[in-house]
Amino acid sequence: MSEFDLDLRNAESHIENAEIRGDVVLGVLDGSTEPAEWVRNVREGNVLVLSVHGDLNKLAAGFAREVKDMGGQLMHFRKFLVVSPPGVDIDTDRLR
């Protein structure tokens, strides 16, 4: 077996975005949750995966613009709305 030199003491300095924060929050977008609650979650760095129950445009109207203005992203995928905070991209490359 060949030997290799693995220096774990300095590994952290080579990791980009070492400060990972936030959770993935699953929820239902049906109008029963105040838009401010969704905005608060995104501001805290959480990614939202919301099952859409109703008209997406009406249900997301209360928070979509604010999320976009702060640099977040929104993506409708199948029957879900995925909402990411600033700095977390939604990668759609595999959908093509």
CA atoms within 13 A on the CB side of 22: 22
Could you report the per-residue pLDDT of 3-19, keeping only the tens digit for each? Answer: 656 666 666 665 565 56
Is it the case that residue 26 has pLDDT exceeding 90? yes
What CA–CA distance (Å, rounded) separates 95 from 85?
21
Could you report the per-residue pLDDT of 39-61, keeping only the tens digit for each? Answer: 999 999 999 999 999 999 999 99
> What's the pTM value of the predicted model, to 2 decimals?
0.79
Mean pLDDT of the chain: 89
According to the model, what pLDDT value does residue 5 have? Answer: 62
